[in-house]
Structure 1
Amino acid sequence: MKPALTDAQDRRRLIAVVVAIIAIVVLATIGVYGLLAGPRTLDDQRPDIDRRPPSPSVSVAPDGTLTPVLPTVRASADPETFARNVATTLFAWDTASGFMPLDYTSVILAVGDPSGEEQAGLASDVAAYLPTRTAWLDLRQYATAQHLRIGEVFVPEAWAAAVEQAQPGQLAEGTVAYTIEGTRHRSGVWNDEPVESAHPVAFTVFIVCAPTYETCHLLRLSELDNPLR
């Protein structure tokens, strides 16, 4: 009977070892998934971007010193061009730059409507596109960065209906909406290895251009992934 008992013990040891190995693999997989996907309730916190940001994230001094710089929204009097510029800058951030979400928010607010009427609403809109301060600090551990690659840009059909239903004077002349569809890319470092992922996004930017202003300005942003169609 002793050999049988030994065999049973050996089998239990083997099962324990296999379970331990599986647990380690599962934990490692969850770790990488957590870096790429983030909390389910905060989709915008996922650290996934590709390694080619749309604009330089550092400036190089003559002595070779690297200084992080914030992206900027390029001014334009062309509505579609400006909408693209806003979209690109909105998604361009890097947690390793030393800047915080409010710094990136200020970049978008800088091209807001000069009248200031939509400033508070726009600030709230932008905040919804960026990780919270706590999430930002967590993502910084993985050197998470992000940028957007634009696919389609178009004036949604729903905008024409909105303009028709607007009361006289409700919309400033030159106000228009553009829906943008693209891919949000994020990248980070997990266990000293680069990781990246991509996620389709869609949203609408509301802007005002000529004749109200010589150059375009941003009014509001739709909820992410809930654009006008």
Structure 2
Amino acid sequence: MGTWLAITSRPSNPPPGSAPPPALESAIDPVTPIPHPAGVAESLKPLAKTSSPARFAEAVAHALFDWDTTWPAPVSDYTGRLLAVADPTGEESPGLVADIASYLPTTGSWVFLKQYYTRQWLEVSSVTVPELWTQALAEAGPGSLAPGTTAYTIRAVRHRAGVWEDEPVSSAHDVAFTIFMVCEPSYPACHLLRLSRLDEPLD
């Protein structure tokens, strides 16, 4: 996929310890945890199929960041939902698995965060094609990328909320990242190829 897609994973969640849950150290605007209805489904809904790169990028962004440890779905379900829309050829799948792992909590961190009723969601500010994408395509060379391959950079605010020492707490942080995908005419619906490192988007 060229130099822009030659990216490696970087764990975003420290191992469990005695400190407050990640991203909850600086509490702002306490939020009461949302009660969930009885009989909630134990599996996540799949990402809706779309041929719109912008809509697909935003859906992927929310799938990466919108999670709730108080729901029955384990963190592996969040990973599986993203891999379900991965590159049909499988060529980019190993790299994508590593990319996703750098965004979502590990299984151990999930268990730790679950003790604090931690949930996270994304407030998207912009979904745009990076100015450097044209340069990236030129560097890749003719025929090296499937038709319809593109990139969108997401700029957003990541919110996280939970309960610490019996008190509701929350935090908010700016995030930016780039989603690489392939859409029409190669496929009728968009598919996820790779992700940039968090806060290292293609500008």
Answer yes or no: same fold by TM over 0.5.
Answer: yes
Pairing 1:177–2:151 present: yes
TM-score (norm 2): 0.81
Q: CA RMSD in A?
A: 2.7
- Structure 2 gaps of 5+ residues are 1-17
Which piece of structure 1 moves more, 178-187 or 126-135? 126-135
Cα deviation per residue 1:51-85 (whole Å; 9 max; x = unaligned)?
Answer: 799xxx96x6xxx5333442432221111111111
Percent identity, please: 49
Give 1:192 shift. Answer: 2.3
For the residues of structure 1 that align with 2:30 and 2:98, how far apart are their CA atoms?
A: 24
**Paired AA for residue 34 in structure 1:** P
Which piece of structure 1 moves more, 72-81 or 103-112? 72-81
For the residues of structure 1 that align with 2:45 and 2:165, how far apart are their CA atoms?
A: 28
Cα deviation per residue 1:7-52 (whole Å; 9 max; x = unaligned)?
Answer: xxxxxxxxxxxxxxxxxxxxxxxx8x8235369xxxxxxxx99779
For the residues of structure 2 that align with 1:106 and 1:51, how far apart are their CA atoms?
A: 29
Task: Decide whether the 8 Å contact of 1:72 with 1:107 is kept in 2.
Answer: yes
Give 1:216 shift. Answer: 0.6
Q: Which has the larger radius of gyration?
A: 1
Which piece of structure 1 moves more, 119-128 or 98-107? 98-107
Q: Which has the higher contact order (CA 8 A, sep 6+)?
A: 2
Q: 1:225 to 1:128 in 2, by over 3 A?
A: same
Give 1 or 2: higher helix fraction: 1
Q: 1:157 to 1:49 in 2, by over 3 A?
A: farther
- Structure 1 gaps of 5+ residues are 1-30, 40-47
Residue matched to 1:25: none
Task: Decide whether the 8 Å contact of 2:33 with 2:161 is kept in 1.
Answer: no
Task: Decide whether the 8 Å contact of 2:146 with 2:182 is kept in 1.
Answer: yes
Pairing 1:110–2:84 present: yes
For the residues of structure 2 that align with 1:206 and 1:130, how far apart are their CA atoms?
A: 18
Aligned residues: 184
TM-score (norm 1): 0.73
Q: Secondary structure at the match of 2:73?
A: coil
Match of 2:23 among 21, 24, 37: 37
Task: Decide whether the 8 Å contact of 2:121 with 2:158 is kept in 1.
Answer: yes
